Amino acid sequence: MSEFIKSSRDGGVAVITIDNPPVNALSPGVPEGLRDAIQAEAARSDVQAIVVTGAGKTFIAGADIKEFAKIRAGERPRLSLNPVANAIEDCPKPVVMAVHGTVLGGGLEIAMAGHYRVAAPATKLGQPEVKLGLIPGIGGTQRLPRLVGVAKAAEMCAFGEPIAAAEAQTLGLVDRIAGADLLADAVDFARSVRGVPRPRTRDRVEKLGAASLDALRQQVRRRLRGQEAPLAAIEAVEAAARLPFDEGIEFERILFEQCLHGSQSKALIHVFFGERAVGKVPGLPAGTPGEVREAAVIGFGTMGQGIAMAFANAGIPVSVRDNSDQALARGMEEIRGRYQGAVAKGKLDTAELERRVARITPLGSIAEADLVIEAVDEDRARKRVVFSAIDQEAKPGAILATNTSSLSIDDLASATNRPREVIGLHFFSPAQVMRLLEIVRGRRTAGETVAAALQLAKRLGKTGVVVGDAPGFAGNRIYHAYRREACLLAEEGTPPEAIDAALTEFGMAMGPLAVGDLAGLDVGWKIRRAHADLRLDGGRYPQIEDLMCERGWFGQKTGSGWYVYTEGQTPIPNPAVLELLGAMDGLRRVASAGEIVSRTMAALVNEAAKVLDEGIAARPVDVDIIFVTGYGFPAWRGGPLHYADEWGLTAILDQVRQRHAGSDAVWTPAPLLERLVKQGQTFSEFRAEL
Ligand code: 3HC
């Protein structure tokens, strides 16, 4: 018997347990072992029905994602688990799948090959393969529509969002919701169906009526712009309605393999493992990090409110302070308003709204807080005063964090008597929504503090990435290099909207100029003035946004920036900015979409290589995840450095050198980029010397 599979008997019911921690993935040996165990139990005369369950926190959470790279590289044969699913379905005795936890991808496909499904109440079921750039590959696109109908199956396979057990029961995917003891209920259920002719999902045709999926396709093209797998998933589900089962399975296989060997699945799988890798920082102390049970936020503007909401959403009580009572009252009102918006959209119920609001206490004590974070104005002197005050008030051992996006952590730490407990927590706006949390480690920040911040990020549902303390940290520094090119392109004659269009077409969530308008152009203006000393001799720096700010055009908040914003209307390019641009000296030339993308991306990659070389980001994957989770970089391109590897580092370096030769010091080639090209290596092969 397989090492992953255990069998026992309970009266006339065999119980087969899959045990492949942590998530019972279908690693080699698991599906085959399951099939063999089912066949062995079915052959016994004292067994009349079979229950399959998963050990630990979940039933099978999917195929083993680590295997896909090996299949792609030819180290493993192609995925061929349909015969296993068919053998389970052909079992002459009823097979009841007792499911709990996250029944995802191949896990749901195996569950659907069983004859019945009994689910624990909190179970989530779904086909999330598209999130890895794949489609279901063990018959999911053929069995799911037979159970829930073509339209619902297409939606589930295209968006990859799991559904709850109760909905699954209504749809016909689950036969029974268990009580507190899943296994006991599943065994009872199995007894009740022994001897009854077992239904095979593949034979069910009653829900296979044709459905028009055009509207879904349009929605997918809009919401998942640029992604191939969701459209392939719809095509495969659609085929279930027109082809016999076995032909449908073959159709699915062809599309699955196309996706598996395409660049998007490689990129998305890189992001899947990358999101988990960033949390594992070499050299941190072993042991469980200190837990944040209570928090405090100082400064209750937009950022402070968002941070307070992030804590409240995660169930952590948070005190908030501001130097004006009005600001506190207004902040609480705005928070309530945002939660009410979520209630109106059906994302939250009113009881939960009240619970979350109740976790936020204006003027509460900070003496009990395990972490105090300041989110006051971005002003060095002010922040130092605040830091020194909270150092006096906070309990010993409490972490003092700053949400600065541009000031030095070491400098702020020097205003306290506890530099080991001082850290940067750079939330992105809106803080209650954005996934990225840059965790900025000062020179004296203790490993324990970093570990606690990483754990906090996870609890807040954020992706924490540890970066070094240098101007702009990792993300903003690299993003500014990319935005600089966008502004220069505009100054040289390319229409601003063409620049944004080229980059959104590339896959960025928003164009860089529209992002400036959203964030507030005055923010960058202030930082540019405060850090004028960081400008390189011989570097070109765009003027246009300074000119705009001098005129009070700060973007969306003033109704005009790169675009003009009128309530209820689509923003239009700002004619006054076009006039300013037209009056600027120099080149007048419209760059093509290809040139816009290659120039801005080469700048981004070159700067990222400098950031790696300087140790501000430790690993290329850290940069990739920062950009995917915080800057709207398309996950299906894997992040900028994964994309750079695909693009080819030699081509990028050639472009960097050409631009540098055009006498712009900002384009000085990154030594790391030069080294990698010289050694014929890629970013994925880069290992920092720690
Ligand atoms: N294959 C391999 N490893 C997996 C895995 C999988 N399907 N799912 C999770 N893991 C690993 C993670 O990499 C992580 O490893 P680490 O501890 O070494 O970093 C560990 O299991 C725990 O995972 P999480 O940290 O993500 O644990 P959570 O409890 O937060 O989440 C989960 C659990 C909801 C199952 C989440 O891991 C998840 O969403 N996994 C992916 C599920 C998925 O996409 N399934 C479909 C796979 S593709 C497929 O099935 C194709 C088929 O149709 C042919």
84 and 211 in a single domain? The answer is yes
Would 286 be classed as within a structural domain?
no
101 Cβ inside 6 Å of ligand 1: no
Give the CATH number of the domain where residue 366 resides: 3.40.50.720
133 Cβ inside 6 Å of ligand 1: no
576 and 651 in a single domain? The answer is yes
388 and 484 in a single domain? The answer is no
529 Cβ inside 6 Å of ligand 1: no
Q: Residue 539 burial by CB count (10 A; 0-12/13-18/19+): exposed, middle or buried?
A: middle
120 and 202 in a single domain? The answer is yes
Q: What is the pLDDT of residues 452-506, one digit of tens each?
A: 999 999 999 999 999 999 988 999 999 999 999 999 999 999 999 999 999 999 9
31 Cβ inside 6 Å of ligand 1: no
Among 41, 67, 75, 109, the one annotated catalytic:
109
Query: What pLDDT sits at residue 1?
Result: 59
Would 122 be classed as within a structural domain?
yes
Q: What percent of the chain has pLDDT over 70?
A: 99
Ligand 1 nearest atom to the CA of residue 66, by list position: 2
Q: What does the alpha-carbon distance between residue 215 and residue 103 come to, in Å, rounded to a whole number?
A: 28
480 and 452 in a single domain? The answer is no
Give the CATH number of the domain where residue 69 resides: 3.90.226.10
Q: What does the alpha-carbon distance between residue 50 and residue 46 come to, in Å, rounded to a whole number?
A: 11
For residue 55, give Cα distances in angstroms to 17, 200, 220, 550. 6, 25, 36, 64
Would 220 be classed as within a structural domain?
yes
Which residue, 469, 498, 526, sits at the end of a domain? 469
462 and 481 in a single domain? The answer is no
pLDDT-based confidence at residue 537 (cuts at 50, 70, 90): confident
pLDDT-based confidence at residue 77 (cuts at 50, 70, 90): confident
Ligand 1 nearest atom to the CA of residue 124, by list position: 34
One-letter identity of residue 216? L
pLDDT-based confidence at residue 246 (cuts at 50, 70, 90): very high
Output b/e per residue, 374-386; b: 16+ Cβ within 10 A: bbbebeeeebbeb
CA of 551 to the centre of ligand 1 (A): 51
Identify the residue whose tokens are 């928003």. Answer: 510
- Closest listed residue to residue 35, CA positions, set 169, 138, 182: 138
Torsional class of 538: left (φ above 0), alpha (ψ -120 to 50), beta (otherwise): left
Ligand 1 nearest atom to the CA of residue 65, by list position: 1
Which residue, 469, 502, 519, sits at the end of a domain? 469
Would 276 be classed as within a structural domain?
no
Mean pLDDT, the chain, whole residue set: 95
CA of 51 to the centre of ligand 1 (A): 24
Q: Tell whether omega for the bond before 289 is within 30 degrees of 0, i.e. cis.
A: no
25 Cβ inside 6 Å of ligand 1: yes
The residue whose CA has the least distance to atom 54 of ligand 1 is 137
Identify the residue whose tokens are 């009102």. Answer: 333
CA of 256 to the centre of ligand 1 (A): 19
116 and 162 in a single domain? The answer is yes
424 and 389 in a single domain? The answer is yes
- Residue that wins the pLDDT comparison between 422 and 664: 422
Ligand 1 nearest atom to the CA of residue 276, by list position: 19
Residue 421 appears among annotated catalytic residues: no
pTM of the model: 0.95
Would 302 be classed as within a structural domain?
yes
450 and 552 in a single domain? The answer is no
pLDDT-based confidence at residue 683 (cuts at 50, 70, 90): very high
Would 278 be classed as within a structural domain?
no
3-state SS class at 519: helix
Q: How many residues does the chain have?
A: 690
CA of 459 to the centre of ligand 1 (A): 18
Q: What is the pLDDT of residues 161-207, one digit of tens each?
A: 999 999 999 999 999 999 999 999 999 999 999 988 889 999 999 99
> In Å, how far from its chain's centre is CA 85?
31
Best of 4, 18, 20, 23 for a ligand 1 pocket test (most atoms within 8 Å of beta carbon): 23
Ligand 1 nearest atom to the CA of residue 63, by list position: 50
H, E, C per residue of 249-306: HHHHHHHHHHHHCCHHHHHHHHHHHHHHHCCCCCCCCCCCCCCCCCEEEECCCHHHHH
Q: What is the pLDDT of residues 336-355, one digit of tens each?
A: 999 999 999 999 999 999 99
231 and 374 in a single domain? The answer is no
Q: Which residues pair with residue 438 across a beta bridge? A: 426, 465
3-state SS class at 367: coil
Best of 65, 76, 134, 253 for a ligand 1 pocket test (most atoms within 8 Å of beta carbon): 65
The residue whose CA has the least distance to atom 29 of ligand 1 is 23
Query: What pLDDT sits at residue 195?
Result: 85
362 and 444 in a single domain? The answer is yes
Would 285 be classed as within a structural domain?
no
Which residue, 469, 502, 535, sits at the end of a domain? 469
Give the CATH number of the domain where residue 534 resides: 1.10.1040.50
259 Cβ inside 6 Å of ligand 1: no
CA of 621 to the centre of ligand 1 (A): 18
Q: Which domain holds residue 618?
A: 476-685
The residue whose CA has the least distance to atom 22 of ligand 1 is 22
Mean pLDDT of 112-119: 98
Mean pLDDT of 30-49: 96
Q: What is the pLDDT of residues 542-564, one digit of tens each?
A: 999 999 999 999 999 999 999 99
106 Cβ inside 6 Å of ligand 1: yes
Give the list of residues 6+ apart from residue 521 with CB closer than 8 angstroms, or none.
545, 548, 549, 553, 554, 555, 561
Mean pLDDT of 631-640: 98
CA of 23 to the centre of ligand 1 (A): 7
Mean pLDDT of 364-391: 93
Q: What percent of the chain has pLDDT over 90?
A: 89
Mean pLDDT of 133-162: 98
Output b/e per residue, 599-623; b: 16+ Cβ within 10 A: bbbbbbbbbbbbbbbeebbbbbbbb
**Domain tally, the chain:** 3
Ligand 1 nearest atom to the CA of residue 273, by list position: 13
512 Cβ inside 6 Å of ligand 1: no
Q: What does the alpha-carbon distance between residue 214 and residue 210 come to, in Å, rounded to a whole number?
A: 12
Q: What does the alpha-carbon distance between residue 147 and residue 143 come to, in Å, rounded to a whole number?
A: 7
604 Cβ inside 6 Å of ligand 1: no
61 Cβ inside 6 Å of ligand 1: yes
CA of 66 to the centre of ligand 1 (A): 10
CA of 276 to the centre of ligand 1 (A): 10
Would 287 be classed as within a structural domain?
no
252 Cβ inside 6 Å of ligand 1: no
Residue 109 appears among annotated catalytic residues: yes
pLDDT-based confidence at residue 689 (cuts at 50, 70, 90): low
Among 3, 32, 67, 129, the one annotated catalytic:
129
Q: What does the alpha-carbon distance between residue 116 and residue 112 come to, in Å, rounded to a whole number?
A: 8
129 Cβ inside 6 Å of ligand 1: yes
107 and 179 in a single domain? The answer is yes
